[in-house]
Structure 1
Amino acid sequence: MTDAQSFYGRWAQVYDWLASAPGVASWRDRTADALALAPGDNVVEMGCGTGTNVPHLRERVGPSGRVVGIDVTREMLERAREQSARTGESVHYVQADAARPPVREADAVLATFVAGIFEDPAAAVDAWCDSVVPGGRVALLNFQRSPSALAAPLNLAFEGFVRLSAPGTRLSRRSHASAFERRVAAARERLTERTVDRRYDTFAGGFLGLLSGTVT
């Protein structure tokens, strides 16, 4: 078992509470919209956690579509399967490494809050793009420091957040946040290289960045 599996396995319930907090649903709606899903599409979420994005994805692909959630942590998937709003005939959960997903020919791929935990985020993005049919969309949602001057006090808490949310990733002792941000930047750079028709949005006071693009 990896450090990440052990960490998220212990904290799956708390993670689920935070991921379902009031106001978060609007973030998930905006992220799902970036995929430009249509009824009947097959969408895969890499690092799906407890499945809090699933209802938003399922709503867009309809009963004729399919939602696949991939996560390496068994306890996270068990939590997802316990929630009736996150299950159904069109929803499938797979325990696997999201950096090496066992899927192909998806119409879209979503990855929220996971790009910064991989040793090689660019390779993970390559795998995600390779999982999508030409013309399909890939979207990355990540936390980041806010550029707003008003957010300076909250930016001071960013280091602590990263230490808690990115376990077992061999981040620099000097600055976990800087290493985390470099990984997110590497993932975004690779997605930029692999896609066209890109869109970048920020919300939640600039603390969230959403990059999406169409795979060629």
Structure 2
Amino acid sequence: MPLDRLAERVGATDETTQEFYGRWAGLYDVIARYTPGVPALRRRAATACRLESGDTVVEMGCGTGANLPSLRKRVGPEGTVIGIDVTGPVLERARDRTARYDNVHVLRGDATRPPLPDELEEAGLDVDAVLATFVVGMLEDPAGAVDDWCDLVGPGGHVVLANAARSEVWYAPPINAVFRAVVVLSTPPTTKLRYEDDPHLRLDAKIDAAHRRLRDRSVAIADETHIFGVVRLTGGRLE
């Protein structure tokens, strides 16, 4: 099947990062599905993709597949859902979660090197939307990745980003203190006590760059904040 060729698009990725997220796949799955506010956020992100029956949607960094059933519900049995992630153990959970759907394809690949349009054309597919939740902060060049995703979708399609960054609400200081601790603990290697630059500031910069690039590439934009202002959701229809 031509879709299987997409799995070959695996780039070089830091082995420590893969081991870290692979080791904590079970805990990550619980957090992704049951943290208060996160399931509603995931539904909102899927809605922002503006999918219709028969559409094709690609999720970059699908993790354990928490979004995939919701995306499949929106495209229906005639549509196609492609979930891409680089970490084997989390993908196994995603495959188990979507095994009953024959139009959901979970592939191991690098989100910074998305499937090529000609490969999708061979499979008879045009990409209508790309979704990336809690992914761009892990990328070396998040704005460049957003450009690639926009190019993959093309004019009239949608790209949706949802990411956690420091809150800007009036009661933000205690929230941001907790957020910083979570970021440090979830940044491999977690044994480091000191960093040359604070991980949460580096994360903020990456997320700002990615969301700004999406706004620059879009003609219709939805910008929202969720969960005490910590999560930013940007959806764009491309020009």
- Which TM-score tier does this pair reach, normalised by the shorter chain? over 0.9
2:127 aligned to which of 106, 111, 114: 106
> What TM-score, normalized by structure 2, do the two folds share?
0.84
- Provide the rounded CA distance (Å) in 1 between the counterparts of 2:153 and 2:174: 40
Q: Is the 8 A contact 2:59 2:84 kept in 1?
A: yes
Aligned-residue Cα RMSD (Å) equals 1.8
The runs of 5 or more residues in structure 2 that have no matched partner are: 1-13, 118-125
Q: Which amino acid aligns with 2:138?
A: I
Q: Which amino acid aligns with 1:139?
A: V
The runs of 5 or more residues in structure 1 that have no matched partner are: none
Query: Number of matched residues?
Result: 213
For residues 129-166 of structure 1, what are the alpha-carbon distances to aligned partners after superposition, in whole Å with 9 as ceiling and x for unaligned?
Answer: 11113200000000122222323212101222222334
- Provide the rounded CA distance (Å) in 2 between the counterparts of 1:200 and 1:51: 24
Is 1:18 matched up with 2:41? Answer: no
Q: Which has the higher strand share?
A: 1
Q: Which amino acid aligns with 2:66?
A: T
2:93 aligned to which of 79, 87, 105: 79
2:159 aligned to which of 134, 138, 143: 138
CA drift at 1:167: 3.2
Mapping of residues 114-133 of structure 1, within 5 Å: 114-133=135-154
For residues 73-98 of structure 1, what are the alpha-carbon distances to aligned partners after superposition, in whole Å with 9 as ceiling and x for unaligned?
Answer: 111110111225x6511100110000
Is 1:178 matched up with 2:178? Answer: no
Structure 1 residues 166 and 212 mapped into 2: Cα distance closer, same or farther (>3 Å)? farther
Mapping of residues 149-160 of structure 1, within 5 Å: 149-160=170-181
- Provide the rounded CA distance (Å) in 2 between the counterparts of 1:6 and 1:202: 31
For residues 30-58 of structure 1, what are the alpha-carbon distances to aligned partners after superposition, in whole Å with 9 as ceiling and x for unaligned?
Answer: 11111111000000000000000011111
User: What fraction of aligned residue pairs are identical, expressed as a percent?
Assistant: 48
2:56 aligned to which of 20, 34, 42: 42
> What TM-score, normalized by structure 1, do the two folds share?
0.92
Q: Could you list the runs of 4 or more consecutive aligned residues of structure 1 that deviate by over 6 angstroms after TM superposition?
A: none
